[in-house]
Amino acid sequence: MNIRNYFKELFGARGREIEVGLDEYLHKLNGITSDMHGAIRAYLNQNTEEFSHLFGKINEFENRLDTLRRNIEAEIYGKRLLPDTRDDVLELLENLDKIPNRIQSTIREMTLQKIRIPEGLHSSLTELAGRNVQIVQVLIRVINAFLYRPHDVRDGVKELSHQEHEGDVIEQQVLKLIFDDASLELAEKMQLYRFGERVGSICDMAEDLGDHIMIWAIKRLL
């Protein structure tokens, strides 16, 4: 890179493309998590049409998020960022990408396996999926803090940790209800157990990523 291009990139508007891409990614991530919540609700209410519509949206969102991630990564490699910034943002994206993947695979399993969910689990499962929406929103706030207001990361991570704990409580409740239900076969219990764990895993992913972000932020505050 010659020195003129270096300064052009350093202070020009082109360097903001990564930020714009990340903003869009986070916006879509929020959307796909809400759709997961909606899809689980529709499945439990046996609203097939709504479920299919939301499942289609989730697939579409996941594809768009993948494309967006690849574009941001290409942008990062082309922009000659500091190795520290580059590595942290790439790791952030790679970890973040696990969330839409998990959402898509969980809903796909639901529809493939035609999981039979007893009535007694409905409210707890809906609550767990709702908790995912909340925790992803907090995670997005933490990521935005990391990108724009590093001092706010600590509070955001505390909130994430709190939300994850709440999620854990609901998840345990779901798992307990599954094994307490005498009407279910063992195979069904195992199938539901896996499903419940996968829905609850979004909270764990968000908390793990929050811990990484905390370290990246502290590192930059000296």
Residues lying near other proteins in the complex (CB under 8 A) are found at 1-3, 6, 10-11, 15-16, 18-19, 80-85, 89, 146-151, 219-222
70 vs 220 by CB, closer to other proteins: 220
Q: Give the nearest distance from C-beta 195 to other proteins in angstroms.
A: 37
- Closest listed residue to residue 56, CA positions, set 70, 71, 42, 46: 42
Q: Tell me which residue has tokens 């590093």.
A: 150
Q: Give the nearest distance from C-beta 29 to other proteins in angstroms.
A: 18
6 vs 179 by CB, closer to other proteins: 6
Q: Tell me which residue has tokens 């992913």.
A: 205
155 vs 180 by CB, closer to other proteins: 155
Q: Give the nearest distance from C-beta 202 to other proteins in angstroms.
A: 25
Report the alpha-carbon distance of residue 32 to residue 37 in Å, rounded: 9
Q: Give the nearest distance from C-beta 136 to other proteins in angstroms.
A: 20
22 vs 136 by CB, closer to other proteins: 22
The encoded tokens of residue 61 equal: 């969102």
Q: Give the nearest distance from C-beta 44 to other proteins in angstroms.
A: 40
Spatial neighbors of 77 by CB under 8 A, at least 6 apart, are 86
Per-residue DSSP letter, 151: G
Q: How far is CA 50 from the centre of its chain?
A: 22
10 vs 190 by CB, closer to other proteins: 10
The number of residues making up the chain comes to 222
C-alpha angle 130-165-185 in degrees, rounded to nearest 5: 65
- Closest listed residue to residue 147, CA positions, set 102, 93, 98, 101: 93
Q: Give the nearest distance from C-beta 16 to other proteins in angstroms.
A: 7
202 vs 217 by CB, closer to other proteins: 217
